[in-house]
Amino acid sequence: MSGHHHHDHDHDNHFTAIEARVKALETLMVQKGYVDPAALDAIIDTYETRIGPRDGARIVARAWTDPAFAERLKADGTAAVGELGYGGRGGEHIVACFNTPEQHNLIVCTLCSCYPWPVLGLPPVWYKSPPYRAKAVLDPRGTIADFGVTLPESQRVRVWDSTAETRFIVIPMRPAGTEGWSEEKLASIVTRDSMIGTGLPKVEDAA
């Protein structure tokens, strides 16, 4: 039996340091009775898989393929997102920021880490970090470059600061060469980062 335990520990070492910490915290919270493991799993599943960037990607793909929906999304993001069944806590007031050849949009929350959970799921760790929150405002173009995206000089960068009341989603520009694609295939190239503004859709990711 002791060999079996040892084997378990070997497996634990495959976790990254962060994953190991999260696992340890989860275990502690469950042991202390603060958290029902089934409830925890349900919450994580909801935000990682059922909600999560996939819902945002569907909104972007719809905006790319349905000009009338895109107009409604520009006029009233909350209502348009609601048409697709998304909204609720953290998405009471959603504003869609459309990228254009003249303007690239970047989302930050300088005060804490307000984020459009219902459409993008859990915020990435870096989104909540003070360095990102400071640099996004002071040097947005440099921040985007840190993520490997070089924008043309002619494209200005506009920073949108989320608040508890208003959350933003970036609608990236539809990449060339995607004409005739289904909405589902288009959604597969919309990355979470492209809806925050630190990335662009990845055509090579096409399903």
Domain containing residue 90: CATH number:
3.90.330.10
Note the pLDDT of residue 165. Answer: 84
Q: Are residues 42 and 65 in the same domain?
A: no
Q: Are residues 196 and 164 in the same domain?
A: yes
Note the pLDDT of residue 10. Answer: 40
C-beta neighbour count of 152 within 10 angstroms: 8
Q: Are residues 42 and 126 in the same domain?
A: no
- What is the number of structural domains in the chain? 2
Q: Are residues 90 and 21 in the same domain?
A: no
Q: Are residues 72 and 32 in the same domain?
A: no
- Catalytic residues, by residue number, are 109, 112-114
pLDDT in tens, the chain (207 residues): 444 444 333 444 455 666 677 777 777 667 767 667 676 666 666 655 555 688 899 999 999 999 999 999 999 999 999 998 887 665 578 999 999 999 999 999 998 778 887 788 778 888 888 899 999 999 999 999 999 999 999 999 999 999 888 999 999 999 999 999 999 999 999 999 999 999 999 887 665
Q: Are residues 84 and 183 in the same domain?
A: yes
The domain in which residue 15 lies consists of: 2-49
Q: Are residues 126 and 26 in the same domain?
A: no
Angle 67-75/53-65 helices, nearest 10 degrees?
Answer: 120
Q: What stretch of H or E contains 105? A: strand 103-108
Note the pLDDT of residue 79. Answer: 93
Note the pLDDT of residue 174. Answer: 97
Q: Are residues 43 and 68 in the same domain?
A: no
Q: Are residues 44 and 59 in the same domain?
A: no
Note the pLDDT of residue 188. Answer: 92
Q: What stretch of H or E contains 159? A: strand 156-161
Q: Are residues 40 and 139 in the same domain?
A: no
Note the pLDDT of residue 13. Answer: 47
C-beta neighbour count of 113 within 10 angstroms: 16
Q: Is 93 exposed, middle or buried (0-12, 13-18, 19+ CB in 10 A)?
A: middle
Q: Are residues 100 and 38 in the same domain?
A: no
C-beta neighbour count of 110 within 10 angstroms: 15
Q: Are residues 36 and 57 in the same domain?
A: no
Percentages (nearest 5) of helix, strand, coil residues in the chain: 50, 10, 40
